């Protein structure tokens, strides 16, 4: 490794690791560093174990055996300014994920892989303080306003190659965890009962299965194409809900069992890779997410009648119904461009992607604040004998969204966001 090359790689990795603070409320799948730098989709090219949740047929392009590890982080912040000119900004919490696995080309025509990765890391955390006043007293209370949904995937994948065509598939085992915290006002406080508001915490998890299918085609010597689909899946979540509200007001339990169903959509995608010259490669990709086909509400069932009855109404403070979150999602698209340039020592990459939020006006609140985003990314790759190192960083500009909810001024206003995503991927060829 030449000295200047070594310095460049270590500087970039150092810069990436200075950004290990995170939090972003989007359902984007995690990417390896090469894919992240080329637009985050990359359905027609080879990038180690990236295809296991994308287009698994491109595993056939590896023609080798190897192991890999990647670490990825988000630095996300959401902002909401309501019609009363109150500005809310979400925290930037430390939260990173990692993944890895192994792949093996048994022959020129058959490749298999086993892998684990964080498929979805949705998180938003707001500071929330409110001054409550009535005729006889005032109360200043602080709460957590938090929503995190993580989905981990363990996958077994394969790819077969037939001349100029490859096909592949992945069987995915998903572990889904949800942690949601929010305040709820107490209407009886004006009559002297209890506190003005109480904290609620939901913790649930569950398991599910899904699959990916894909195909790749060598159209001509310079152009390759790929298509994929990832199945939707529904998860039966179980866990607990905790709050002292009904213990103080109704002599009920402060901890009850909780269940609910959460659903992820079908996804379809496709892309092309064009080898303009021996040193310059361009990729174009698009993905279509069928969010409109999933449940419209995230309903919760409590094993306590007092909880179920009292949480079925809209809260005057947050305008959230604690027994049923609105998920009025719409179909969304992602589309992007990537450019890769090979030098004598390094591979330089850059990309752009437009990512559309599935939120409709009915969905927006501080638990689901995501907006459309413009992504730009850069990255480098280096290979020394059997060791490959890719590093990338992507920045997302959220497009401010004006939301008007008649009669609900607390949730009407402007939503926006920014996000930085660094990634380092290490691969060793066996």
Give me the tens of pLDDT residue by residue for the chain, a chain 430 residues long.
Answer: 444 544 444 444 444 433 333 345 567 776 789 999 999 999 999 899 999 999 999 999 998 899 999 988 877 888 888 877 777 887 766 567 889 999 999 998 999 999 999 888 888 888 888 888 877 778 888 888 899 999 999 999 999 999 899 999 999 999 999 999 999 998 888 888 888 899 999 999 999 999 999 999 999 989 999 999 999 999 999 999 999 999 998 888 999 999 999 999 999 999 999 999 989 999 999 999 999 999 999 999 999 999 999 999 988 888 889 999 988 899 999 999 999 999 988 999 999 999 999 999 888 888 889 999 999 999 999 999 899 999 999 999 899 999 887 766 677 889 998 888 899 999 999 9
pTM of the entire predicted model: 0.89
Six token digits for residue 305 = 């009648």
- Chain position carrying tokens 């009292």: 310
Burial class of residue 3 in the structure, from the number of CB atoms within 10 Å of its CB (0-12 exposed, 13-18 middle, 19+ buried): exposed
pLDDT of res. 67: 95
Listed in sequence order, the residues at least 6 apart from 374 whose beta carbon sits closer than 8 Å to its beta carbon are 352, 353, 354, 396, 397, 399
- Chain position carrying tokens 């890719």: 390
Reduced to 3 states (helix: H, G, I; strand: E, B; else coil), residue 385 is: coil
pLDDT of res. 151: 94
> For 233-247, b where at least 16 C-beta lie within 10 A, e where not — what string?
bebebebebbbebbe
pLDDT of res. 284: 97
pLDDT of res. 95: 67
CA angle 320/128/206 to nearest 5° reads 55
pLDDT of res. 7: 45
Can you say whether the dihedral through the CA atoms of 127, 117, 55, 424 is positive or negative? Answer: positive
pLDDT of res. 103: 95
User: Are residues 208 and 233 in contact, defined by beta-carbon separation less than 8 angstroms?
Assistant: yes
pLDDT of res. 176: 96
User: Are residues 298 and 327 in contact, defined by beta-carbon separation less than 8 angstroms?
Assistant: yes
pLDDT of res. 4: 52
Listed in sequence order, the residues at least 6 apart from 312 whose beta carbon sits closer than 8 Å to its beta carbon are 321, 323, 324
Can you say whether the dihedral through the CA atoms of 6, 10, 13, 15 is positive or negative? Answer: negative
């Amino acid at each position: 490794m030449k000295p200047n090359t070594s310095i460049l790689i270590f500087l970039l990795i150092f810069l990436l690791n200075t950004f290990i603070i995170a939090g972003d409320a989007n359902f984007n799948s995690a990417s390896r560093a090469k894919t992240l730098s080329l637009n985050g989709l990359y359905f027609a090219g080879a990038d180690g174990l990236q295809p296991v949740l994308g287009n698994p047929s491109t595993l056939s392009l590896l023609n080798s055996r190897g192991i890999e590890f990647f670490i990825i982080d988000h630095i996300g912040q959401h902002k909401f300014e309501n019609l009363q000119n109150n500005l809310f900004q979400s925290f930037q919490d430390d939260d990173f994920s990692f993944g890895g696995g192994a792949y093996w080309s048994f022959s020129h025509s058959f490749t298999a892989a086993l892998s684990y990765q964080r498929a979805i890391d949705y998180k938003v955390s707001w500071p929330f303080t409110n001054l409550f006043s009535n005729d006889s007293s005032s109360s200043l209370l602080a709460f957590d306003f938090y929503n995190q949904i993580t989905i981990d995937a363990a996958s077994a994948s394969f790819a077969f190659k037939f001349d100029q065509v490859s096909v592949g598939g992945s069987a995915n085992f998903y572990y889904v965890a949800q942690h949601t915290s929010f305040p709820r006002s107490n209407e009886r406080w004006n009559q002297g009962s209890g506190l003005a508001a109480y904290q609620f915490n939901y913790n649930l998890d569950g398991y599910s299965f899904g699959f990916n299918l894909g195909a790749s085609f060598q159209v001509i010597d310079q152009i390759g194409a790929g298509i994929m689909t990832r199945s939707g899946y529904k998860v039966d979540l179980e866990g607990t809900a905790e709050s002292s509200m009904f213990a103080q007001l109704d002599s009920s339990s402060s901890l009850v069992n909780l269940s609910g169903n959460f659903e992820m959509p079908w996804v379809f995608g496709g892309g092309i890779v064009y080898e303009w010259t021996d040193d310059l490669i361009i990729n174009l990709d698009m993905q279509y997410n069928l969010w409109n086909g999933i449940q419209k509400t995230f309903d919760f069932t409590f094993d306590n009648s007092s909880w179920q009855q009292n949480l079925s109404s809209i809260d005057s403070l947050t305008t959230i119904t604690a027994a049923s979150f609105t998920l009025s999602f719409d179909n969304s698209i992602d589309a992007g461009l990537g450019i890769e340039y090979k030098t004598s020592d390094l591979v330089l990459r850059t990309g752009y992607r437009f990512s559309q939020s599935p939120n409709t006006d009915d969905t927006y609140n501080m638990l689901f604040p995501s907006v459309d985003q413009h992504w730009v990314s850069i990255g480098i790759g280096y290979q020394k004998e059997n060791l490959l190192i890719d590093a990338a960083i992507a920045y997302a500009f959220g497009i401010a969204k004006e939301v008007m909810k008649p009669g609900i001024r607390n949730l009407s206003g402007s939503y926006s966001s920014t996000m930085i995503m660094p990634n380092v991927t290490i691969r060793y060829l066996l």
